[in-house]
Structure 1
C-alpha cells in the first residue's frame, strides 16, 4: 500500500475511530484520513440517552479515544467534512468543500440517521430526535424547562430516554404501536415483565396504540391516538428506529441488502466494490449463528466489524467476530444479552423477581433445537461469562440444573458434561 496515498475512513463515529486505532495497532504506518460531518471528535453514542441526557458534565467524558489520541497516532481527523461522492473506478472521494481525496482503501462507517415521522420533521418546535451529541444537549436543555414529555417509540432508545426523563422528575408518557415492548429482542413474557416495571416506575404506558394524528401547537404537540384518545405535552421525543446512512455507497453503485437496506459486506467487511469496505450501523453482514444477513445496531458490533475490516485492508489474519452482545440501562435494570433472539427460540427462567423490586436479578436462557443460543441477564451480567462455554451445546436436558438459581452458575457450568455434545452453528 503506497505510504502517501491514505486509507480513507468516511465517518468519525465508533466504527471509524476503532478502525483507525486498529490500523495503527496492526502496524500500518501510512496515512490515515478520517472525515466526519460533526464538529465533535468521535464519541460513544450509548450514553446519549442516559448519563449525557441527565448531566452536561458527561459531554466531555464519552470520547472513543482520549484527547490527543489522533494527533499522537498521526491520524488526520477532519471534522466538519462531508464526503459527497465516491468514484470506485478511480479510488477517489469528493468532498463538499471541493477537495478530492485519492485513497488506497476506503472504509464507509457512516452509521445511520434517526427515523423521522413525516408530520414531525426535525426542526419542529418542541419535537426532538436523539442521534448526536448536539441532539442530546438540546433535549437535555428542553427537559430542564419542561415538566412533562411524551416519548413515541418503545424500543431501546425510547425506553432509555423515558427512564432518564422519569429519573429527572418529569411526567412521562410512552407510546408504542406494538402490543408489547421490545418485541424483536425479548420474549413475550419478559416484555410483559418490563412493561409492568415501566408502570411501577411511574411512567404512563400506552401499548398497541396507533397514532392517528400529530398536531404541533404553540405550547407543544397534540398526539391523537387511533382509539380516540388525545394527549398533549410541551415536549415530544420521537424514537422510532434508525435508517442506515447508505446514500454515498448507493450512489457509488455498492450492493445494498434488499431486506434491511444496509450496505452488503462479506465476513471481512468488503463491499461489492474493490477497495471499499463498510462497518457499523450502515452495513449488513452475514451472521453465521443466525444464518442470515443482518444489520446489528450495537456498540460491540461496530467495534468488531471495524477491527475485522481494518485487518482485511492490510491483508492481516485476525480472529472472527465475537458472539453478539448488547446491553441497555433503564428503570433500574442493567439488561445484557448474549447471542441473538429468533422467533423459534424457547426460553427458561433462572430466578424471578417482582417487577417493582428495587434491584431485580434473574436470567432467561434461550435455546434453539435444544442448543443454547441466547441469554438475557437482568442485573446479572457477570453470569454471562461462564455461560459462553455452553453456547452451541445441547443443554435442554441440563436446563433444570442451569435454572436453579440456588447454585452459582459458574460452578454449575464447570461441572456440566458439555464435552458430550459438540457446539454447532446456532
Structure 2
C-alpha cells in the first residue's frame, strides 16, 4: 500500500520550487503535485512579454524535464481538488480519487480578477493569467487590432508595451490619477507615463469604464465615466489578482482579512499538517500592522523554500527583503523593499537620461528602493536595506561616487560603530 507523503495542491512556480527543495533537503517520501492546468509548472513573468511577441515562444519550464524523474515527483495535471479534509488528512479529486497525505502544501496561486461586465466568455475579451491565455492573445495581436486595456498596473502596462511592439493601437484606462502610485515616487511614475505615451499609447488616468456594449460583430464599444467613447477590437482586463483560497476556506483554515490563506513566518497554516506558499497566501511581515499578500516571482520562490524546510522541521532560510521587477518596453524597473508612509526620497542619476535610482529612507536608513535600468546598482546597495544601515544620502546622490565601493564603506562604518 502506498504510504502517505506530501501532496502539493497547485502546479505553478511555488509548487515546483517547493518540490525540488524537499528533495534537496533529503526528503525520501512520495511527492504528488496536482495541477488544474495540463502544463507542468512554468514561469509566468514571460506571459505578458516574450510569449506575446517573440518570434519563437521562450522555454518556460520551472524544472528541467529530467528533474521530474530525478526528483521522483509525481505530476497530475488537468485535475481539480474539490475538497480538503483536515481531520482525515485527505484530498478529494474531481476524478473521484482520494489521496491521503502526511503533509499538504497549498500552492494554489490566484485567478485574474474578473470585471462584472466583461466575463471571459465574451468575444474579444481577454484575461492574462495562464499560458493558454497568452497564446490566445498572441494570436489576435498578429492582426494589429485596436486594444483597450483596463488597468494600469504592472501587468496592464507590460501588455500595453507588448501590444504596441506588435503594431496594435493601445488605450490604457486606469482609475488612479497616477500610474503605479502605490510602488513608485511621483517623479518615477511620471516618467513611466511619458514613456508609455511616447511609445504610442493613449493613457486615460482617473477614468473607469462605465458602459460596455459588445455587439455580435463589429467593435466593442466602451464609454468612460468622463464621457469618452472608445471602440476596441480586443479588451484586456488587468484589474488585479484574486487569491485561490476557496479550498482552504471551505476546509476551515484561517483566512486573512482581505483574502489569502493565513500563514506564519514559516508558511504554516492554522492546521499543523498543512502549509501554504505563493500568491494564495497572506503573511504578516516586519513593519506591517496586518497580514498582506505579496504577488511576485521572488516571493513564490522564497516562500516555497521556507515551506519545504518547515514541513521537514528544519530551520527556515532567512527571509529576504522583498524584491520585484518589471519590464516596461526598454525600461527595466526593479523595486526593493516596501513603500511606506512618511518616507523621504533621494535620487541618483536621471530618468530622462535612461538610468536612475531612488532611495526611500527613514532617518537615513534605506527602506524602499526603485531602480530604472539600474538593477546592478540596486543589488550593490541591497545589504544596506537588509541590515538597516544609516547612509550618507549626499554621497549616494553624487554620480562621482562609486556606488559599490560606497556601499561597502557604509557597512564598514556601521560595523565599527557597533
Question: TM tier, shorter chain?
Answer: over 0.9
> Alpha carbons of 1:56 and 1:120: their partners in 2 closer, same or farther (altered >3 Å)?
farther
CA contact (8 A) 1:108 1:279 kept: yes
**How far did residue 421 of structure 1 move?**
6.2
Residues 348-367 of structure 1 mapped to structure 2, 5 A cutoff: 348-354=346-352, 360-367=354-361
| Counterpart position of 1:169 | 167
Q: 2:97 aligns with which of 61, 77, 99?
A: 99
| Counterpart position of 2:343 | 345
Q: 1:306 aligns with which of 304, 311, 320?
A: 304
1:30-68: CA deviation from partner (whole Å, max 9, x where unpaired): 100000010101001000000111136225x01001123
| Counterpart position of 2:390 | 395
SS in 2 for 1:305: helix
The whole-number CA distance in structure 2 between the counterparts of 1:243 and 1:345 is 29
Q: 2:399 aligns with which of 392, 402, 405?
A: 405
| Counterpart position of 2:331 | 333
1:148-205: CA deviation from partner (whole Å, max 9, x where unpaired): 2111100000000001111111111111011000121112221112111111111111
SS in 1 for 2:291: strand
**How far did residue 147 of structure 1 move?**
2.8
TM-score, length basis structure 2: 0.96
5+ long unaligned stretches in structure 2: none
For the pair 1:370 / 2:364, whether they are aligned, the reply is: yes
CA contact (8 A) 2:86 2:251 kept: yes
For the pair 1:419 / 2:418, whether they are aligned, the reply is: no
CA contact (8 A) 2:364 2:393 kept: no
CA contact (8 A) 1:394 1:421 kept: no
The whole-number CA distance in structure 2 between the counterparts of 1:267 and 1:152 is 35
The whole-number CA distance in structure 1 between the counterparts of 2:170 and 2:275 is 42
**How far did residue 281 of structure 1 move?**
0.3
CA contact (8 A) 1:146 1:235 kept: no
| Counterpart position of 1:24 | 23
1:386-422: CA deviation from partner (whole Å, max 9, x where unpaired): 21221253536x1011011222211222233333667
TM-score, length basis structure 1: 0.94
64-73 or 176-185, which deviates more: 64-73
Residues 27-426 of structure 1 mapped to structure 2, 5 A cutoff: 27-55=26-54, 57-59=56-58, 61-217=59-215, 218-258=217-257, 260-354=258-352, 360-391=354-385, 392-395=387-390, 398-416=392-410, 417-419=413-415
How many residues in Structure 1 have an aligned counterpart in Structure 2? 414
SS in 2 for 1:401: helix
5+ long unaligned stretches in structure 1: none
The whole-number CA distance in structure 2 between the counterparts of 1:13 and 1:394 is 36
Considering only aligned residues, what root-mean-square deviation do their CA atoms show, in Å?
Answer: 1.6
The whole-number CA distance in structure 2 between the counterparts of 1:282 and 1:232 is 35
1:96-127: CA deviation from partner (whole Å, max 9, x where unpaired): 00000000000000000001111110121001
SS in 1 for 2:319: coil
The whole-number CA distance in structure 2 between the counterparts of 1:15 and 1:157 is 19
**How far did residue 4 of structure 1 move?**
1.9
CA contact (8 A) 1:393 1:421 kept: no
CA contact (8 A) 2:266 2:316 kept: no
